Structure 1
Amino acid sequence: MTHPAPLHAPGETFQVTSLAQAGALLDFSYGARLLEQFLQPATASHAARAISEPANRVTYHVRKLTDCGLLRVAGHQGKRVLYVAAARTFHVPRTLVQLDQPLTLIEPVMREVTTTYAHAILDWQSRQGHPDASGDDLTVHLGRGAPEAEGDTGPFAPALRLRTVQLTPRQYRAAQDALNDLLTRLESDDTDDARTSTFVLMTFKGQLHLT
């Protein structure tokens, strides 16, 4: 006989059965990314701090995830509600998501990433004292090691790196895990100097240009 998981712990698996559940789960910013903050009982405000998003926006999406059954109430912390993910693994039927048309999921995400990155470049140029960058030379450095340039670029300069390498399946997974672990170790609570920063890790088999 299978016993339900305690209210304070996620279940093992959850079968998605509706379009509302599939849409909420696959929302790039507030789906699985937000649910991951509730593998242990937590408040909506705790999750908002963890993903560096506005508390009112996170609270709205927590309510949305709860209404469709992906989150559940695990208890209370004073007047605050504690939530926990319904499961650690979610199964989505193919009929509920257009897996044969991946752009329906990816395109909105990539549009947001590129737009935010472009604004970060404009902000950085403005902080350098030349909003249009018309007075700057463009430097292209070849090879693995670029000269240390923090004194010239200032803190939090936007960066874009593209590398195509030959990897075994084991190395491919190890590289993903290592980059995730690095960012986790580097995460700082020093609010005096630390700023919210975003790293987009995108990996795929093949080259950039399809042939």
Structure 2
Amino acid sequence: MTDPLATPFQVTTPAQAEALLDFTYGARLLEKFMEPSTPSQAAHALAEPANRVAYHVRKLLQSGLLRVAGRQGKRVLYQTAAQTFHVPRALVRLDEPLTLIEPVMREITSAYAHAVLGWQLRQDSSVPAGDAAHLAVSLGPPGPHPTADPPAGVYAPAMRLRSVRVTPEQYQQAQAALDRILTELESSQASPSAHMTTFVVMTFPGRLHDT
């Protein structure tokens, strides 16, 4: 029997391309419907509000990227229309990359800034006056060990930026290692004291200010 997900889905409209390439509720959400699932199950898997996920499920359904796959009692089951989606270059506007990446980078920047502010407020309330009244900027190597010391405080926001010379093989190995760490964390049994956290891993050739 032919797997219905095996046939690539041909994206034909701007609305389909926009829905698929939505960083938060596009392909990331469709992945939760590789097997028939309900919106509430997808919301639980993503740790997202159920009403918000349900809204985006409706958008994916209306665009044809998601289809009805049956019922589970009174609840409707949905499944992705395919495992692979082909998007014409004309709909992606690859010559204007900011149209793809800018919205999610703006969302990431805002979330990170709020996390920094929240961390600073926690620090101010948990240490004697004056002890956290400054920001320490240290130059040189990150410490006696090859890796940087973990930031101080519970769930302290952290940003690492490194430009290093690597071979193509090392580049792939580093990407795989980072992904493996995050996959292990995602699949580990969470303890009652665990909090949802976000890791953003970006890699690209060249330096930050290369043109």
Q: Tell me which interval the TM-score lies in, with the shorter structure as reference length.
A: 0.7 to 0.9
User: For 1:118, which of 89, 98, 113 is the aligned residue?
Assistant: 113
> Does the aligned pair in 1 maintain the 2:7–2:84 contact within 8 Å?
yes
Q: How does 1:142-157 map to 2 (within 5 A)?
A: 142-143=141-142, 144-147=146-149, 153-157=152-156
CA distance in 1, matches of 2:12, 2:147: 50
CA distance in 2, matches of 1:28, 1:147: 31
1:116 Cα offset (Å) = 0.7
CA distance in 2, matches of 1:28, 1:12: 23
Runs of 4+ in 1 over 4 A off after TM superposition: 130-134
- Tell me whether 1:174 sits opposite 2:173 in the alignment: yes
- Tell me whether 1:165 sits opposite 2:153 in the alignment: no
CA distance in 2, matches of 1:72, 1:167: 43
1:88 Cα offset (Å) = 1.0
Give the aligned CA root-mean-square deviation in angstroms.
2.3
> Does the aligned pair in 1 maintain the 2:67–2:79 contact within 8 Å?
yes
Instruction: Write out per-residue CA displacement over residues 87-136 of structure 1, whole angstroms, 9 at most, x where no aligned residue.
Output: 11110111212110001111111111111101000001111125999613
- Report what 1:192 is aligned to: 192
1:180 Cα offset (Å) = 1.3
Unaligned runs of 5+ in 2: none
1:58 Cα offset (Å) = 0.5
CA distance in 1, matches of 2:207, 2:150: 29
- Report what 1:202 is aligned to: 202
What is the one-letter code of the residue matched to 1:180? D
Q: Residues 148 and 61 (structure 1 numbering): CA distance in 2 closer, same or farther, change over 3 Å?
A: closer
1:11 Cα offset (Å) = 3.3
Unaligned runs of 5+ in 1: none
User: What percentage of residue pairs aligned between the two structures are identical?
Assistant: 59
Q: How many pairs are equivalent?
A: 203
Q: How does 1:1-211 map to 2 (within 5 A)?
A: 5-6=3-4, 10-129=5-124, 135-140=133-138, 142-143=141-142, 144-147=146-149, 153-187=152-186, 188-190=188-190, 192-211=192-211
1:137 Cα offset (Å) = 4.5
Q: Residues 60 and 5 (structure 1 numbering): CA distance in 2 closer, same or farther, change over 3 Å?
A: same
What is the one-letter code of the residue matched to 2:21? L
Give 3-state SS (helix, strand or coil) of 2:83's partner. Answer: strand
CA distance in 2, matches of 1:133, 1:64: 50
Q: Residues 186 and 104 (structure 1 numbering): CA distance in 2 closer, same or farther, change over 3 Å?
A: same
> Does the aligned pair in 1 maintain the 2:8–2:86 contact within 8 Å?
yes
> Does the aligned pair in 2 maintain the 1:125–1:133 contact within 8 Å?
no
Length-normalised TM-score, structure 2: 0.87
Give 3-state SS (helix, strand or coil) of 2:101's partner. Answer: helix
